[in-house]
Amino acid sequence: MGSGTDVAIGAAGLTLARGDIEALVDAVRPVRRTLGTIRANLAWAFGYNVVTVPLAMVGLLDPMFAAAAMSVSSVIVVANSLRLRSRRLLATRGPARGPRGTRLGKAGVR
């Protein structure tokens, strides 16, 4: 039978591996940015479909133009999503410090 800690880690949505509570902020920030991008992509896609699909159905929009616009819409959604990769998602607070203020390397190793 496992300990209470194992149960808490299994039930938690986020587990901090170090004692720094600021790591929680660093973990939540990219999630919020990602959710904002998802919402923007959905708004763009729904907005496109609400405008162009009825126009194409009644014959006011050329099917070739509608198909090209659909491709452009997909490219815009993908490009908007790729912006997440180009941004630095974690906040930079300067170099990491170890015990007694010693500088740590990129992997957190002296």
Supply the pLDDT for residue 41: 94
Closest CA to 18 of 88, 98, 76, 103: 98
Rounded Cα distance between 92 and 100, Å, is 20
In one letter, which amino acid is 110? R
Residue 106 located in a structural domain: no
Provide the domain limits for residue 19: 12-87
pLDDT less than 50: residues of the chain:
89-100, 102, 104-110
Residue 101 located in a structural domain: no
Sequence-distant (6+) residues with CB within 8 A of 37 are 80, 81, 83, 84
Residue 99 located in a structural domain: no
Closest CA to 90 of 34, 30, 36, 20: 30
- Report the number of distinct structural domains present in the chain: 1
Residue 79 located in a structural domain: yes
Residue 77 located in a structural domain: yes
Residue 29 located in a structural domain: yes
Give the DSSP H/E element, type plus range, for residue 52.
helix 22-57
Supply the pLDDT for residue 12: 78
Chain centre distance of CA 8: 26
Q: pLDDT of 27-39, one tens digit each?
A: 888 889 999 999 9
